[in-house]
Structure 1
């Protein structure tokens, strides 16, 4: 197995890895958690059923579900949709990307819609860090389907053994590993490992620690 530092291209998940989608500043905590849970459930359900709807559509439906469940909060669906393309990056991201991008090419591979990924990166001042913004929308199926992870190899042209996929979502790491990608798990919350799927090559607390592993 290659040493973890033997990497030419680092490919990041977006939501929960670079951008804090569970920040409670944009909605009450109950709404945030429910929206995120349903958002992921809808991607998995559609993929298993062989159907596809774009990520903004699923996100809107997840917000509407949360609004119906917690009607006491009077959730403004349109406001939440706007806020979701202006999420804050985690505190370690800017410095971590700077270090990880020293001599390496960087990309994002996300379930998010291409337009939303562009807006997220521009808002956070990170767009120049990434050579590619790669979306599951291109193959009309969501992670952890293998077709999505193959996009990272196809779009970047990086040999499989020289590419590292990075996610804070353990299910995403499991999917990437099962698809044959080298993977790093940014375990921000100290969760136990997933018992199914591929295993991460390295587990870190944040991107700065990952950068240290690759130096």
Structure 2
């Protein structure tokens, strides 16, 4: 089935997180701390959602970073933590994103973002990257107070857009997000930037492509 709305994950899917490594180093941590920090932030957000509770990305990420700093013998001051996390507002889009989304927008596809972060974190990136005018809505999980991959997060996006979930497709680099979208009734599109095997324990994606240019090609082919 061809979709009416393309729902986009933001962190890593649209944004290149690599520049954040320099901020971890400036705070006194090794560059690879970014990977452990991001995974732990997602873990704790998922855990709170599973327990029926909620905290936002900044609060959880700040707690995880404070623990990393303390473990390294570095005082977890607010200045150090903000110095790292403020980097999210200065990230750039992956180069394939803008031309591919423009193609899909010109074909009439509605484009919406849904992040476990906050809408404000990505506003500058979307404006600088030229995709802000292409986005019908920019959503985060603060309204449903359920982090993706909880089904309520995807259903919230469908309600905002006024479409049934089966008329939406989610594109993400994270298999857990693709799986969550599929279980909620959406189509799931795996953006396999790192050429990593998709987990067999998850529902398979409806499409698996290398980047957004590949997704645009595949969706345009399905529309014919």
Same fold (TM over 0.5): yes
Q: Report what 1:9 is aligned to.
A: 5
Q: Distance in 1 between matches of 2:91 and 2:82?
A: 15
Q: CA deviation at 1:168?
A: 0.6
Q: Structure 2: give runs of 5+ residues left out of the alignment.
A: 26-30
Q: Report what 2:70 is aligned to.
A: 68
Aligned pairs (5 A) from 1:156-171: 156-171=161-176
Structure 1 residues 100 and 41, CA gap change in structure 2 (3 angstroms): same
State whether residues 174 and 196 of structure 1, in contact with CA within 8 Å, keep that contact through their aligned partners in structure 2: no
Q: CA deviation at 1:196?
A: 2.8
Q: TM-score, normalised by structure 1?
A: 0.89
Q: Does 1:145 align with 2:150?
A: yes
Q: Give the counterpart of 1:182 among 182, 187, 193.
A: 187
Q: Distance in 1 between matches of 2:207 and 2:6?
A: 13
Q: Report what 1:45 is aligned to.
A: 47
Deviating beyond 4 angstroms after TM superposition, the runs of 4 or more aligned structure 1 residues are 71-75
Q: Report what 2:95 is aligned to.
A: 91
Tell me the number of residue pairs that the alignment of Structure 1 and Structure 2 aligns.
Answer: 211
Q: Report what 2:24 is aligned to.
A: 27
Q: TM-score, normalised by structure 2?
A: 0.86
Secondary structure of 1:193's match? coil
Q: Structure 1: give runs of 5+ residues left out of the alignment.
A: none
Q: CA deviation at 1:68?
A: 2.5
Task: Write out per-residue CA displacement over residues 92-138 of structure 1, whole angstroms, 9 at most, x where no aligned residue.
Answer: 11111111222111000111123224344234443212110111111
Q: Give the counterpart of 2:178 among 173, 177, 180.
A: 173
Secondary structure of 2:138's match? strand
Q: Distance in 1 between matches of 2:132 and 2:160?
A: 17
Q: Does 1:106 align with 2:111?
A: yes
